[in-house]
Amino acid sequence: MSASEGVSAWTLTPDGLVVTVRATPRGGRDAIDGIVELGDGRQAVKVRVSVAAEDGKANTALARLLAKAGGVAPSRVELLSGATGRTKSFKLSGNAAELAERLRTVIGKD
C-alpha cells in the first residue's frame, strides 16, 4: 500500500509532497476540515484560516497550518500556484511518505 493510496489531494515527489488545497479565508478559525472534491473531479484538502485574503496573509496562514500538520518548519512549505485563488498548490519539503502519513492522520483518513 502506498503512502498516498486512496487520497489524490496530494502527490508524492522525490523531495516532498505537493498538496492541493481548497482555501477558505475568514473561516472563523484555523483548521483542516478534510478532503473535498473539486468541480473538475480532483480532490483537495479543505482548509480554513481566520485571516482575510489580503496582502498574502491567508497564504501565510495556510502555509503555517500545513507545516504544523506535516510536522515541518514553515520555511519548508512553499506556495507553488494559486496565490490569488481559492484552489492552491503547496509543496512540503521532506520525506514524502512521512508527510503523507501525518496529513492522513490530521485529516482522519486511514
Residuewise pLDDT in 10s, the chain (110 residues): 334 345 689 999 999 999 999 999 999 999 999 999 999 999 999 999 999 989 999 999 999 999 999 999 999 999 999 999 999 999 999 999 999 999 999 988 54
In this prediction, residue 7 carries a pLDDT of: 62
In a domain, residue 29? The reply is yes
Question: What is the pTM for the complete model shown?
Answer: 0.89
Q: How many domains does the chain have?
A: 1
110, part of any domain = no
* 75 assigned to some structural domain: yes
CATH code (residue 84): 3.30.1200.10
Asked, for residue 4, whether it belongs to a domain, the answer is no
C-alpha cell at 31: 483548521
Which residue segment(s) compose the domain that 37 sits in?
A: 10-103
44: in domain: yes
Burial 62-96 (b: 16+ CB within 10 A, else e): bbebbbbbbbbeeebbebeebeeeeebbbbbbbbb
Determine, yes or no, domain membership for 5. Answer: no
Any domain includes 27 = yes
The confidence score (pLDDT) of residue 8 equals 86
